[in-house]
Chain A
Amino acid sequence: MTDSTNKSAVDNSRRDFLSKAAVAGTITIAPGVLLHRTAQASQSSGSHDEAVSSKNRWGMLIDTSKCANGCTACVDACNEENGLVGNGRPETDTQYIRKVTLKEKATGHETSLPLMCQHCETAPCADVCPTGASFVRADGIALVDKHICIGCRYCMMACPYKARSFVHEAVENQKLTAPRGKGTVESCTMCVTRVDNGGIPACVEACSAENHNALMFGDLNDPNSEISISLKERGGKQLRPDLALNTGVRYQGLNE
Chain B
Amino acid sequence: MTRFLRQVAVLVYALFGLTLLSTSAMAETPFPTIDEPAGEAEKCIHPTDDMRRNHMNYILHERNETMYEGIRNEPESLANCIDCHVKPDDNGEIASIESREHFCNGCHQYTSVQIDCFQCHADRPQKYIERDKQTSSLRHNLQQALANNAGVNQ
Binding site for B on A (CB under 8 A): 4, 8, 11, 48-52, 135, 137-139, 143, 145-147, 170-176, 179-184, 192-193, 195-197
Contact = CB atoms under 8 A, between A and B. Distances in A.
A50 B65 CA distance: 10
A179 B72 contact: no
B121 to A, nearest CB: 5
Interface of B: 54, 57, 61, 63, 65, 67-73, 79, 119-124, 126, 129, 132-133
15 contacts: A48-B73, A49-B71, A52-B70, A137-B68, A145-B68, A147-B63, A147-B67, A173-B124, A173-B132, A173-B133, A179-B121, A181-B119, A195-B70, A196-B70, A196-B72
A48 B67 contact: no
Nearest to B82: A176
A182 B79 CA distance: 20
Nearest to A146: B120
Main secondary structure of the interface of A (DSSP, over half): loop
A195 B119 CA distance: 25
A182 B116 CA distance: 11
Q: Top 3 A-B pairs ranked by shortest CB distance?
A: A181-B120, A51-B69, A181-B119
Given A146-B120, A175-B126, A181-B119, A51 B70 contact: yes
A170 B120 CA distance: 9
A116 B69 CA distance: 23
Nearest to B120: A181
Given A11-B54, A147-B63, A175 B122 contact: yes
A50 B71 contact: yes
Contacts of B67: 143, 145, 147
A196 B119 CA distance: 24
Nearest to A173: B129
Contact of B119 (A48, A175, A182): A182
A173 B70 contact: no
Given A48-B70, A146-B120, A193-B72, 12 more contacts: A11-B57, A51-B65, A51-B70, A137-B68, A145-B67, A170-B119, A171-B119, A172-B123, A174-B120, A175-B126, A181-B119, A197-B72
Contacts of B71: 48-51
Contacts of B121: 174, 179
A4 B120 contact: no
A171 B126 CA distance: 15
A65 to B, nearest CB: 33
Contacts of B68: 135, 137, 145
B122 A179 contact: yes
A166 to B, nearest CB: 14
A176 B79 contact: yes
Contact of B120 (A48, A184, A193, A196): A184
Given A4-B57, A176-B79, A48 B122 contact: no
Contacts of A192: 70
B93 to A, nearest CB: 14
Given A48-B73, A147-B63, A170-B119, A176 B57 contact: no
Given A8-B57, A176-B79, A139 B70 contact: yes
A165 B79 CA distance: 25
A193 B126 CA distance: 15
A48 B57 contact: no
A143 B133 CA distance: 28
A251 B132 CA distance: 40
